[in-house]
A and B are shown apart, each in its own frame.
Chain A
């Protein structure tokens, strides 16, 4: 059984419709740690040592966040800049994260069709997440393809519930499987 760390980032969760339901869905899930970055670090003053020790205690690291400007909210970048230290996460002696897996859990406003070569945004979500993928590789980690919920602007409550259940199942599968997805 793998241990999953969810690095959750939402600057205005009080206004969120989908992410709040996703959080509710993973409540009580064994082997899954939810780490709410904006709640723990409202001043963005990230405790690097604490974050690193959290990473060491888990096997799978997931960034869960809304898709803002084709990327994550600001605190995720701040987190990456500070926590993934040279000599610890990468570089010739940076092997702390070797063998772990990393991925993104994304909620995007637009429908899936808009995230394609022909669509409104001209690229897929995976394309936009290239920096995350390469970050994982540089840190000796395996990158898991993103779990994306599209079209959140038009999702009805029942559809949101469906997605939340799917998310929970995905996490359970990720946690329990023996090898790669």
Chain B
């Protein structure tokens, strides 16, 4: 079937737009929605897309690379270091034991050793894309099970490197269709190690000393798409570098992300890459769905179904035993075992290798490919079952034994400060000395740099972007302080917050009266006119210098401020009627002047009456 690119793009996008809302509405999660969409538009059912689905899958695998880059961004190096035990222990044991057991099973089924080992290694891996995306979507990536699953997946990404090296050795005959793209292949073993280590060092050093200054320059250009382009370039470059030296691009991107996790541009990078990652992952899931060959499955349903069940059960049992050893609580362990029971996307690559290297015959590869795809498609269903059936029991019976989140991928601050100029700066410092931590977003690159040099943690980014606010923790924050440099920016931020984060209390800086009116129209309750308090303080000091008692000046300034704010509220309603507005303003001014001039100012300044003894004196003298 030959279609234009646009037609294919239309099919994929339409399928996503139709299926995802339905899947979410049914509580299936977006991963399952994409998989279903892929099945429906794939060659087996509607046939909108044909064999090109395979190519699209390879292309869309880049989404996994991006996802790991993003996960790396949220993981500071120290946190990664803290996870070394689960990564090496749990991950290492999972890969080794699963490979051994599956190899043994294949041997028992009469396969030769090299074939068995190839199958064992291939099927020991799990799907980073499906697991992490599902866990993230359910918000349980930071739970004990989520962290353990993440550790295992990370180790699997590392384990792919030696696997790729071993595969050519497993080939019975020397291969004609070799896959030797990698620079490493023609080098002696010690050089290969050297190249691999070199690539890792390059990423770390470049991330520190090259990327950070480059990001600054790009950000200063103030062309938004340029930053996006740079972010993509970064991820693509890492992938290219990794492919050249024969490493996993996902692993490289993850490393790159970790190196940049401390950067002030973290949130900006995150929100720029995020949509691409989402689309590509969606595409990837659809391609996986489309690759399920229903004809093959229908021709031997019991074999394939049996293989899927046996494989997933086996992998789960190994994971459960490991989880038990690593002291994960029962409830979390079940989730852990279930979530990693499928075979990963990398199996598709390894399976095509096994074919290229003549390790496996075409028939076996097809069956295994179907098994892998089905196991991936079942995983979101399993997680849903876990959520619906298993988790509620534990919540009811032993709520208190639920383990707390072990590692927080991101610090959560109760306050977000949008705009860290003269105004936000003071608010931020004031909160800070009172022990309140705030996530600070600012749009001025030079200012961000200066503050960074002073050791203040400020993130460069536009707070009027929903994704960026979300990355800054708007979901968990309580308060947002909006103190942008211009009115337009302020209004944008307020609108976005009102729409997407209605739970956030907004404290908004206004420059003048028209701004205040606009903010009132938007329903903002806490508006702070930039100059009001300062000018009144100045006025009070002037009065004081002219001989008015400081306390009286202080009180009268406070009363003036309250009066002013009250008047504004009244005027806001009628400000579009010019004539009425002007008349009312005139009246208000006269009223105020009258109050000030009148000896009975005390009545306006009513609490002061208590100290006014004139009536007492009159009474006392009248008694005489």
Chain A residues engaging chain B, CB cutoff 8 angstroms: 11-15, 38-40, 42-43, 68, 73, 109, 153-154
Contacts and interface: CB of A to CB of B under 8 A. Distances in A.
Top 8 A-B pairs ranked by shortest CB distance?
A42-B554, A153-B620, A12-B611, A42-B550, A38-B551, A42-B551, A153-B617, A39-B550
Contacts of B617: 109, 153
Q: Is the interface of B mostly helix, strand, loop or mixed?
A: helix
B608 interface: yes
A38 to B, nearest CB: 4
Most buried by B among A11, A68, A109: A11
B553 interface: yes
Given A14-B548, A15-B612, A42 B620 contact: no
B621 interface: yes
B554 A14 contact: no
A11 B550 CA distance: 9
B551 A11 contact: yes
A15 B610 CA distance: 12
B447 interface: no
A74 to B, nearest CB: 10
Interface string B590-624: 00000000000000000010111110110011001
Contacts of A14: 548-549, 552
B549 A38 contact: yes
A154 B624 contact: yes
Nearest to A13: B549
A15 B616 contact: no
A132 B616 CA distance: 26
A153 B611 CA distance: 13
A73 B610 CA distance: 11
Interface of B: 540, 548-555, 608, 610-614, 616-617, 620-621, 624
B596 to A, nearest CB: 15
Contact of A11 (B540, B553, B611, B621): B611
Contacts of A40: 550
Given A11-B551, A12-B549, A43-B554, A154 B611 contact: no
A17 to B, nearest CB: 8
A154 B620 contact: yes
A125 to B, nearest CB: 17
Nearest to A153: B620
A12 B620 contact: no
Nearest to B614: A15
A15 B611 contact: yes
B72 to A, nearest CB: 48
B548 A15 contact: no
A22 to B, nearest CB: 15
Given A14-B552, A109-B617, A153-B620, 16 more contacts: A11-B608, A12-B549, A12-B608, A13-B549, A14-B548, A14-B549, A15-B611, A15-B614, A38-B549, A39-B550, A40-B550, A42-B540, A42-B551, A153-B613, A153-B617, A154-B624
A39 B549 contact: yes
Given A109-B613, A109-B616, A153-B616, A12 B621 contact: no
Contacts of B608: 11-12
Contacts of A38: 549-551
20 contacts: A11-B551, A11-B608, A12-B549, A12-B552, A12-B612, A13-B549, A14-B549, A14-B552, A15-B611, A15-B612, A15-B613, A38-B550, A38-B551, A39-B550, A42-B553, A109-B613, A153-B613, A153-B617, A153-B621, A154-B624
A120 B540 CA distance: 41
A122 B611 CA distance: 23
A34 B608 CA distance: 24
Nearest to A37: B551
Contacts of A43: 554
A109 B620 contact: yes
Nearest to B617: A153
B185 to A, nearest CB: 75
A55 to B, nearest CB: 22
Given A11-B611, A12-B611, A12-B612, A154 B549 contact: no
Contacts of B616: 109, 153
A24 to B, nearest CB: 15
Contacts of A68: 610-611
A42 B548 CA distance: 12
A109 B551 CA distance: 23
A14 B602 CA distance: 13
A111 to B, nearest CB: 9
A116 to B, nearest CB: 18
Most buried by A among B548, B552, B610, B612: B552
Contacts of B613: 15, 109, 153
Contacts of A73: 611
Nearest to B620: A153
Contacts of A109: 613, 616-617, 620
B538 to A, nearest CB: 14
Contacts of B552: 11-12, 14
B37 to A, nearest CB: 64
A11 B554 CA distance: 11
B546 to A, nearest CB: 12
A145 to B, nearest CB: 25
A13 B553 CA distance: 12
Nearest to A40: B550
Contact of A39 (B551, B611, B624): B551
Contacts of B611: 11-12, 15, 68, 73
Nearest to B557: A42
Contacts of A153: 613, 616-617, 620-621
B578 to A, nearest CB: 40
Contact of B621 (A13, A42, A154): A154
A165 B612 CA distance: 25
A175 B624 CA distance: 39
Contacts of B548: 14
Most buried by B among A13, A15, A154: A15
Nearest to B610: A68
A55 B222 CA distance: 59
A7 B76 CA distance: 57
Most buried by A among B540, B551, B555, B611: B551
Nearest to B624: A154
Contacts of B621: 153-154
Contacts of B624: 154
A73 B613 CA distance: 14
Nearest to B555: A42
Nearest to A73: B611
A54 B210 CA distance: 59
A15 B612 CA distance: 7
Nearest to B558: A43
Contacts of B620: 109, 153-154
B560 to A, nearest CB: 14
A40 B549 CA distance: 10
A147 B168 CA distance: 106
Most buried by A among B553, B616, B620: B620
A153 B624 CA distance: 11
A85 to B, nearest CB: 22
